[in-house]
Amino acid sequence: MTRPAASEHHEYFSRYIDLVPESDILPLLEKQIAEVRGLVARARGKEQFAYAAGKWTVREVMGHVTDTERVFGYRALVFGRHDATELPGFDENAYAANSRAGDIPLANLVEEFALVRGGNVRLLGALPPDTWSSTGVANHRTISIRALSYLMAGHVRHHLNGLSRDYVI
């Protein structure tokens, strides 16, 4: 597997994709399940903590990570099936506000992420190698499946870094 070229995604996504220097993406995606479990396990007692006014709690961050994982996985499915339907964007703040993540125990949110990520790993692993370069349009931007897979990993890494830094977990 080669890293996605800059031409395979909008420049905005570089902020996440650049966090992933690894070239073997499927094992990394699988490994991140344990990383999420490990870091979030240290958050016990801080589940409802937000480091500043207007910021998400630890639970809400985990809900956001899982919602985003679902969206990216659906995009990979659509593009992998060569469906030319243009997909909409999503408003992460609206999703968070309507998710109820703040009411769900963190352990349940982490398990939900593990299940969604596990399904995405299996979806991506079943794609023929030439399909990884397939592209589609989401939120008016073209992106390849390869770039989506790196985006999945980089998005999780971004939020794990934030939890470690800002939430002191």
| Model pLDDT, residue 169 | 76
| Model pLDDT, residue 39 | 85
Identify the residue whose tokens are 């609206």. Answer: 94
User: Does the pLDDT of residue 9 top 90, yes or no?
Assistant: yes
| Model pLDDT, residue 46 | 93
Mean pLDDT for the chain overall: 96
Please tell me the pTM assigned to this model: 0.96
Residues above pLDDT 70, as percent of the chain: 100
Domain ranges of the chain: 7-166
Enter the tokens of residue 142. Answer: 């073209």
| Model pLDDT, residue 167 | 86
Q: What is the mean pLDDT of residues 56-73?
A: 97
The residues, ordered by sequence, that sit 6+ positions from 41 with a Cβ below 8 Å of its Cβ are none
Q: What is the mean pLDDT of residues 75-89?
A: 97
Q: What is the mean pLDDT of residues 146-151?
A: 98
Q: How far is CA 129 from CA 47, 63, 125, 143, 162, in A?
A: 40, 31, 9, 16, 33
The residues, ordered by sequence, that sit 6+ positions from 23 with a Cβ below 8 Å of its Cβ are 1, 2, 3
Specify the CATH number of the domain 7-166.
1.20.120.450
User: Does the pLDDT of residue 44 top 90, yes or no?
Assistant: no
pLDDT digits (tens, 9 = 90+) for 95-141: 999 999 999 999 999 999 999 999 999 999 999 999 999 999 999 99
**Gap between the Cα atoms of 94 and 140, Å rounded:** 19
**Gap between the Cα atoms of 167 and 73, Å rounded:** 27
Q: What is the mean pLDDT of residues 50-54?
A: 94
User: Does the pLDDT of residue 40 top 90, yes or no?
Assistant: no
